[in-house]
Amino acid sequence: MNKSRRSFLKTAGLSVCALSGGIAGVAGSPAAARSGIAPGRYGKGEKALRAKRWAMVIDTRKFCGPQDYEPLVEACRAAHNVPHIKGPQEIKWFWTDSYEHGFPDDMNEHLSKNVRESAYPLLCNHCGRPPCARVCPTQATYQMEDGIVAMDYHRCIGCRFCMAACPYGARSFNFKDPRKFLPDPVPNPAFPTRMIGVVEKCTFCAERLAAGQMPACVEASQGRILFGDLEDPDSTARQALATGYSIRRKPSLGTRPGVYYLI
């Protein structure tokens, strides 16, 4: 009983994989993960946008309330065929919540009332040190060379270790068949729909970046969300961070979140 939580998750993950071999298949087995077989990648075209470390900067000062975020939520849903499921089994890629829930470890007791009572958009933080990728036994969750934490849905066996490891609640599990909650035809036939029993989350629109387009929420924000290379001092993201006060979600955990909020 003296095993660490990490050791327990690793052992449990291998056990689940062994029991799920008939479902996951060879590509989703721990043997495939250990052998170095590369997970699915996004093919980048000639117009692909590139960065050493993608980061998002949300200028919350330019949003008046939850209603201002709704077009961004819908843009994300349409781009990725995110189903509309109400209640505790909701599938969330981009959503809003209170300051208290979004930033529970903030130590500044003297922020303005407006800051503390506003709604904030939440999404996967695409951490520099993603705990979700470390605990995934099949490499269904992996980190791309540009920092994006991506998913290979075909490898996901539904163990949900990534959900337990994520400190931001940024992942959703498909308890129901998500395709039954999508309109016909689907909003974006070019993006794959998911199936029951797999986890999904925001991908920083890796497929759009590969085609030379900015993330859907960034386009819909009309300049209120900035996206750029965190390691390029001339990028719009770095310039915004250099000129304004920003916060991140739970930075004390050492995950190095890639989403910043200007307040």
pLDDT digits (tens, 9 = 90+) for 12-63: 444 333 333 333 333 333 333 433 444 556 777 789 999 999 999 999 999 9
45 in any annotated domain: no
Is residue 252 classed exposed, middle or buried when 0-12, 13-18 and 19+ CB atoms within 10 A define those classes?
Answer: exposed
- Which pLDDT score, from 0 to 100, does residue 204 have? 98
pLDDT at residue 96 greater than cutoff 50: yes
Q: What pairs with residue 225 in β-bridges?
A: 58
76 in any annotated domain: yes
Average pLDDT over residues 178-185: 96
- Which pLDDT score, from 0 to 100, does residue 40 have? 54
DSSP for the chain, please give it.
Answer: ----HHHHHHHHHHHHHHHTHHHHTTTTSHHHHHTTPPPP-PPP-TT----SSEEEEEEGGG--SHHHHHHHHHHHHHHHT-----STT---SEEEEEHHHH-TT---TT--HHHHHSEEEEE----SS-HHHHH-TTSSEEE-TTS-EEE-TTT--S--HHHHH-TT---EE-SS-GGGGS-SS-S-TTS----TT-EE---TTHHHHTTT---HHHHHTTTSEEEEETT-TTSHHHHHHHHS-EE-SSGGGS---SEEEE-
Q: What is the reported pTM?
A: 0.83
pLDDT at residue 211 greater than cutoff 60: yes
Average pLDDT over residues 112-121: 91
Least confidently predicted of 9-13, 54-58, 100-104: 9-13
44 in any annotated domain: no
Give Cα 222 to chain centroid, integer Å: 21
- Which pLDDT score, from 0 to 100, does residue 132 have? 98
Question: Is residue 136 within 8 Å of 191, Cβ to Cβ?
Answer: no
46 in any annotated domain: no
pLDDT at residue 248 greater than cutoff 60: yes
Q: What pairs with residue 166 in β-bridges?
A: none
CATH of the domain at 235: 3.30.70.20
What does the mean pLDDT of the chain come to?
87
60 in any annotated domain: yes
- Whole domain around residue 224: which residue ranges? 5-35+51-262
118 in any annotated domain: yes
Give Cα 76 to chain centroid, integer Å: 12
- What six digits make up the tokens of 135? 């605990």
pLDDT digits (tens, 9 = 90+) for 132-155: 999 999 999 999 999 999 999 999
136 in any annotated domain: yes
152 in any annotated domain: yes
Average pLDDT over residues 178-193: 95
- Which pLDDT score, from 0 to 100, does residue 48 have? 95
Domain count for the chain: 1
